[in-house]
Amino acid sequence: MSFFKTGKPFIIAGPCSAETREQVLQTAEGLAPLGIDMYRAGVWKPRTRPGSFEGNGEQALQWMLEAKQLYNFKYTVEVAEPAHVELALKYGADALWVGARTTVNPFHVQHLADAVKGIDIPVLVKNPVNPDVELWVGAIERFEAAGITNVAAIHRGFSGYNTPVGYRNQPNWPIPIELRRRRPELPIICDPSHISGKRVRIAEVAQKAMDMHFDGLMIETHINPDEAWTDARQQITPAQLGDLLSKLVVRDEFTNDMGVQVQLEYLRQQMDAVDVEILDLLAKRMELSEKVGEIKKTANMTAYQPARWREMIESVTSRCDITGLDKELVIALYEKIHNESIRRQLQILGNAGIEIKK
């Protein structure tokens, strides 16, 4: 059993940064009655721009150790360099976390993995800032190869230029889902604070993570969030965290309730039958598309015709009002279908291998 799988969501809470001894101890005092699994704070802060608060370093580790001893907490800090690992271990850290800006760099990750070799401390690996599941898996594998038996992933969202309104980092849920598909046993913890960037959305993102069967949450908690030196807008008080946790609906992947199982089975059989129909229709559509390709070849016409593509998108999306299907989903689906159709027609025209990008 993994250190991070306790049978209930693994909760990590604490301030973004360890600012002062009082702030670290008062926040810990506020969290103590909530029964969290681990206290957190950044003592070395990776800041986007120079000149801002970069953490209190070794001094802050002393405060974390005090909080650990006073409230019987386990605690974790972010490490980005082997020297950080050495100091964190010296001050009794119970787990190390690797930040999103470090996970992107295999050199740094390998240096950290080398630094923990032979010390079996749990390691939490945040997703890289870019939406690259390979890089995330690669970082996890480096720690596993170094002999770390308790590795967990933290989903904290991804940087992007067009981040949807209301989020600080794009959640890009398919990426942690892909990670789960590849590594079903790996615990995945969600960090709704960095995904949402705003207090008001934390509960909603946390609940979504529970609905998707994540193993825990890392939530930034501060005794006085408005006065926080870093990430002030996304930190909540220990009382607000208590409220959030009490309202969290934790779901199971499976049920022993036979009645529910029968209902699910009935619906799933119908869905499976519909899937067979969808695939048969798709195959039929491709056959028609190939016939069109033959005609285009005889008439010396191009496989890709932008006007036809626009017409098709208009026609299929116009049905969204009737079907209730999401427009973006329909467009994404038809992009795939159309690409495949063009690929087949190109083969007929004798230009196999040319990729069409819209």
The residues binding ligand PEP (CB under 6 A) are 16, 42, 46, 99-101, 126, 156, 194
User: Which partner in ligand PEP, Mn ion, none is near 225 (CB below 5 to 8 A by kind)?
Assistant: none
Nearer to ligand PEP, 54 or 290 (CB): 54
CB neighbour list of residue 78: distance below 8 Å, 6 or more residues apart: 42, 43, 44, 45, 46, 84, 96, 97, 98, 99
User: Residue 255 has which token pair?
Assistant: 């049920």
**Which helix (H) or strand (E) element contains residue 9?**
none
Nearer to Mn ion, 47 or 308 (CB): 47
What would the 3-class secondary structure string for 162-181 be?
CCCCCCCCECCCHHHHHHHH
Nearer to ligand PEP, 16 or 61 (CB): 16
Shortest distance, position 15 Cβ to Mn ion, whole Å: 8
Residue 96 dihedral angles phi and psi, to the nearest 5°: -115, 145
DSSP symbol at 353: T
User: Which partner in Mn ion, ligand PEP, none is near 99 (CB below 5 to 8 A by kind)?
Assistant: ligand PEP
Q: Which stretch binds Mn ion (CB under 5 A): 134-142, 225-233, 320-328, 330-338?
A: 225-233
Nearer to ligand PEP, 139 or 349 (CB): 139
Q: Which stretch binds Mn ion (CB under 5 A): 178-186, 207-215, 231-239, 348-356?
A: 231-239
Q: Which residue's C-beta sits nearest to Mn ion?
A: 16
Q: Which residue's C-beta sits nearest to ligand PEP?
A: 99
Helix axes 133-145, 174-182, angle to 10 degrees: 40
Cα 98 → chain centroid? 14
Nearer to ligand PEP, 176 or 293 (CB): 176
Q: Is 76 exposed, middle or buried (0-12, 13-18, 19+ CB in 10 A)?
A: buried
Among 16, 41, 67, 125, contact with Mn ion (rule: CB under 5 A): 16
Give the footprint of Mn ion on this chain (CB under 5 A): 16, 231
